[in-house]
Amino acid sequence: MSTRKSSLLLPRASNWMGVSALSAAMLATTALPSLADEALADLVEAVSPSVVTIIAEQDATTTPTQSQDFDLEGHPFGEFFKRFGGPEGFNTPERGPSQGLGSGFVLDEEGYIVTNHHVVDNASTVTVRLSDDREFEAEVVGTDPLTDLAVLKIDAGESLQAVDLGDSDVIRVGEDVVAIGNPFGLSSTVTTGIVSAKGRSISQGPYAEFIQTDAAINKGNSGGPLFNMEGEVVGVNSAIYSPSGGSVGLGFAVTSNIVDHITTDLRDDGEISRGWLGVSIQNVSPELAAALGIEASSGALVSDVVSGSPADGVLLQGDVILSFNDDAVDSSRDLPILVGTTKVGTNSVLTVLRDGKQEQLELTIGQYQTAEADVDSTFDTNVSGTALGVTVAPLTEAARAEMGVGDTVDGVVVTDLKPDSPAAKAGLQRGDVIVKLGSQDTATPDALKAALDSEKTDPALVLINRGGSQIFVAVEIA
């Protein structure tokens, strides 16, 4: 049996020699150390001393007792209630001090450390643990929630080994990247992957731009560096998409160019000086492009201009911004980043498409501002506007307060929509204020009807005010 089995396994001599030669070549190849592996090991060895652990401690919290205690930890909506408050009649029990772990890296030898805003947010004490296990209490120099970045400062009594920030604009999709951090408290954990995408927006805010990577990133990696193969930081690991809570290969890192701008600003005075135009913008969809009479569905469409802002008197509703200081604006998400990272007081040039023609406009960048709206009261009587499939009402003072609509806005309030109507299909909602249809103001229900009767363009360009912000929609009216 054994002889027969052996003979079945023996190939002909000519084939055997070929297999032997191939096997020998394979063995010789696998026996040699991989140059790529050596380069990666050298990179990790060189930069690891600059990666740190962030320990953020929060004091005990107490909530006044109501009718009964409510155990958030065991409730399916526990995380929601912790963030936004428990249901009426319930109370969250007193909690002791808590501790969170994150990652960070040494920005310069003086002891400045970069991490995420959410890692140190609301912390009473922040401690930085170096790669050699020494610990130092850190000062929070400043944070920026809109980009989820924070700068800390420690005094280690000596110069620290710092990393270099790379240029995130030049990194390409498909390039190898390395993440180093402390997932689940396991310090100095190294994972590798590639750049899966660039320019991602993940609802962090209009001023943050992300690199997507499939390098494993987990809880505790937040604030840690994402390196290119030159050992430069190209991103700060900030978020993951995960139905399970663990890594599924969808990690996101704030780009190093934004990190450079924000950290420089925070180190200057602990505050962010963010550039501001004073416009509401939106993407140019194919439908809006048709309504505007333009071919390309790119750029940022100006839907509103804030009175007294840098853009007031320069930009107009309906302008499509194509570039900002020679940087192309391919979509509305590009412009806030370009403007936000521009120094306040800078004279800037915008290329816009206005009435089918390109124009260059100049303005001076202002300081970023926020606005708040009051909310209260109800709507008024209804008047039908059947051509759009909506029911509208006059915009009363009570309605203005309810929806945060300013005194300078005139229009009619959408109080109801017919299912599958042109307005509903275009995305209009109850509570929207129709400000214009085509080129005509719609300050009253009668004005809206008159604008519909005279409108010649299909789809029609409709300007609405939603919660204080103005946007354009394209509505089929034929």
Among 15-29, 165-179, 222-236, 451-465, where is mean pLDDT lowest?
Answer: 15-29
Catalytic residue, chosen from 222, 280, 303, 332, is 222
- Classified by CATH at the fold level, domain 34-61+97-271 comes out as Thrombin, subunit H (2.40.10)
The pLDDT of residue 102 is 93
Query: pLDDT class for 148, splitting at 50, 70, 90?
Result: very high
Ranges in the chain annotated CATH 2.30.42.10: 275-367, 383-475
The pLDDT of residue 151 is 97
CA atoms within 13 A on the CB side of 166: 20
State pLDDT tens for residues 349-399: 999 999 889 999 999 999 875 433 222 223 333 344 446 788 888 876 666
More confident residue, 146 or 408: 146
For residues 359 and 352, the answer to whether their CB atoms sit within 8 Å is yes
* Residue 222 bears catalytic tag: yes
Among 12-21, 246-255, 388-397, 432-441, where is mean pLDDT lowest?
Answer: 12-21
Catalytic residue, chosen from 148, 214, 334, 432, is 148
- Residues of the chain with pLDDT > 70: what percent? 77
pLDDT at position 20 over 50: no
d(CA 352, CA 320): 5
More confident residue, 113 or 293: 113
- Please state which CATH class domain 275-367 belongs to: mainly beta
Residue type, 234: V
Strands 90-91 and 68-69: parallel
The pLDDT of residue 425 is 83
Strands 412-417 and 390-394: antiparallel
The pLDDT of residue 455 is 81
State pLDDT tens for residues 409-453: 888 888 777 777 888 888 888 788 999 888 888 888 888 888 888
d(CA 432, CA 473): 11
What six digits make up the tokens of 109? 């030898």
* Residue 312 bears catalytic tag: no
d(CA 134, CA 406): 55
For residues 284 and 293, the answer to whether their CB atoms sit within 8 Å is no
Query: pLDDT class for 243, splitting at 50, 70, 90?
Result: low
Ranges in the chain annotated CATH 2.40.10.120: 34-61+97-271
Statement: the pTM of the whole predicted model exceeds 0.85: no
* Residue 261 bears catalytic tag: no
d(CA 64, CA 160): 46
Q: What does pLDDT average to over the chain?
A: 80
For residues 256 and 246, the answer to whether their CB atoms sit within 8 Å is no
pLDDT (average), residues 13-39 = 51
pLDDT at position 262 over 60: yes
Among 169-173, 245-249, 340-344, where is mean pLDDT lowest?
Answer: 245-249
- Classified by CATH at the fold level, domain 383-475 comes out as Pdz3 Domain (2.30.42)
Which range has highest mean pLDDT (7-11, 91-95, 148-152, 464-468)?
148-152
The pLDDT of residue 371 is 36
The pLDDT of residue 391 is 82
pLDDT (average), residues 125-132 = 95
pLDDT at position 341 over 60: yes
Query: pLDDT class for 402, splitting at 50, 70, 90?
Result: low
State pLDDT tens for residues 185-201: 888 899 999 999 998 87
Among 10-19, 115-124, 416-425, where is mean pLDDT lowest?
Answer: 10-19
Tell which phi-psi region holds residue 325, choosing left (phi > 0), alpha (psi between -120 and 50) or beta.
left
Query: Chain-centre distance of CA 212, in angstroms?
Result: 11
What six digits make up the tokens of 307? 């009175």
Which range has highest mean pLDDT (12-21, 316-325, 331-340, 468-477)?
316-325
Catalytic residue, chosen from 50, 103, 118, 432, is 118
